[in-house]
């Protein structure tokens, strides 16, 4: 849900001329096409009619139920459309309108900065590999462009490299062809063995994450651009990105704790049973 303050809602209402149920000069058809082109969302879906069928009411409902990132992107697009009309002489404006435009752009920037993915900053390389850094940048670009489904294969590659590097740091011998979930399982066993997790609930969550990573293998192979496949839908892609980034963020805190402990002896964990 986009968090809009009272005055921010007023800025939007006034700049986009929503008081009479309209949105700028859009017809129902052109409004639908504009939103679809801007953020790949169909504003004619039933869920946006919750508070009424007018364009303004559907836009209000959109802001109520959509992510801050989507709301910010659409506000920015509508503001740019308003400015294009001014520049072409199709719309009269005064200083108050210009101030409203600037406020809407600031609002859009604030909402977009919240992002669609929590802890996106956690997706940073844990080695000096230059290709690893490029991979991280490519993943973040997919999110910044609001196209998480196009980055699932790269996210899988990133996590595999990330966990493999952690295994190396913890003295875990691995083979090159070990799949992601097996690598993750070996890493989890290592941190549990070294007493880096305190609660039973956290242990259960981490163990369940091994099967999550196994499912990620399937998504990568059957629902991403890794192969000639129909790609996964937007909403589930966002869910996967958040699950992965939140896991990596937690692992960061575990690794900080691990640095305070003595490094373990070199152990072959590959066939160590849970």
The series of mean pLDDT values per 10 residues for the chain, 274 residues long, is: 86 95 97 94 95 96 90 95 95 92 93 80 93 95 86 97 95 92 96 93 96 97 95 92 96 86 52 51
For residue 223, the model assigns a pLDDT of 97
Please check whether residues 174 and 218 belong to one and the same domain. yes
Distance of alpha carbon 61 from alpha carbon 43, whole angstroms = 10
CB burial of residue 57 (10 Å; 0-12, 13-18, 19+): middle
Please check whether residues 81 and 134 belong to one and the same domain. no
Please check whether residues 173 and 83 belong to one and the same domain. no
For residue 115, the model assigns a pLDDT of 74
For residue 268, the model assigns a pLDDT of 55
- Structural domain contains residue 268: no
Tokens for 148? Answer: 């998480």
Q: What total number of domains does the chain contain? A: 2
For residue 110, the model assigns a pLDDT of 86
CB burial of residue 139 (10 Å; 0-12, 13-18, 19+): buried
Please check whether residues 160 and 54 belong to one and the same domain. no
Tokens for 151? Answer: 């980055």
For residue 262, the model assigns a pLDDT of 57
- Structural domain contains residue 34: yes
- Structural domain contains residue 269: no
Please check whether residues 18 and 95 belong to one and the same domain. yes
- Structural domain contains residue 99: yes
Distance of alpha carbon 63 from alpha carbon 65, whole angstroms = 6
Please check whether residues 188 and 226 belong to one and the same domain. yes
- Structural domain contains residue 125: yes
Domain that holds residue 167: 120-258
DSSP letter, residue 150: G
Please check whether residues 60 and 138 belong to one and the same domain. no
Please check whether residues 82 and 58 belong to one and the same domain. yes
Helix axes 234-258, 152-169, angle to 10 degrees: 10
Please check whether residues 185 and 65 belong to one and the same domain. no
């Amino acid at each position: 849900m986009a968090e809009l303050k009272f005055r921010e809602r007023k800025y939007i209402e006034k700049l986009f001329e929503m008081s009479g149920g309209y949105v700028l000069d859009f017809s129902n058809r052109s409004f639908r096409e504009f939103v679809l082109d801007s953020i790949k969302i169909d504003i004619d879906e039933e869920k946006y009619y919750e508070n009424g069928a007018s364009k303004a009411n559907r836009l209000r409902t959109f802001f109520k139920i959509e992510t801050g990132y989507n709301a910010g992107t659409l506000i920015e697009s509508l503001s740019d459309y308003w400015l294009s009309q001014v520049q072409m002489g199709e719309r009269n404006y005064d200083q108050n309108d210009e101030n409203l435009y600037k406020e809407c752009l600031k609002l859009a920037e604030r909402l977009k900065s919240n992002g669609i993915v929590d802890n996106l900053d956690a997706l940073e390389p844990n080695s000096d590999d230059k290709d690893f850094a490029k991979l991280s940048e490519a993943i973040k670009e997919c999110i910044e462009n609001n196209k998480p489904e196009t980055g699932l294969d790269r996210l899988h590659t990133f996590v595999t490299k990330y966990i493999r590097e952690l295994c190396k740091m913890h003295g875990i011998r691995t083979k090159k062809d070990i799949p992601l979930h097996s690598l993750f399982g070996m890493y989890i066993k290592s941190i549990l063995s070294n007493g880096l997790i305190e609660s039973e609930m956290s242990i259960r969550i981490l163990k369940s994450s091994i099967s999550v990573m196994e499912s990620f293998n399937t998504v990568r192979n059957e629902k991403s651009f890794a192969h000639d496949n129909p790609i996964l839908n937007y909403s589930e892609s966002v869910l996967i990105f958040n699950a992965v980034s939140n896991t990596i963020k937690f692992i960061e805190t575990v690794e900080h704790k691990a640095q305070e402990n003595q490094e373990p002896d070199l152990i072959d964990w590959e066939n160590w049973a849970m």
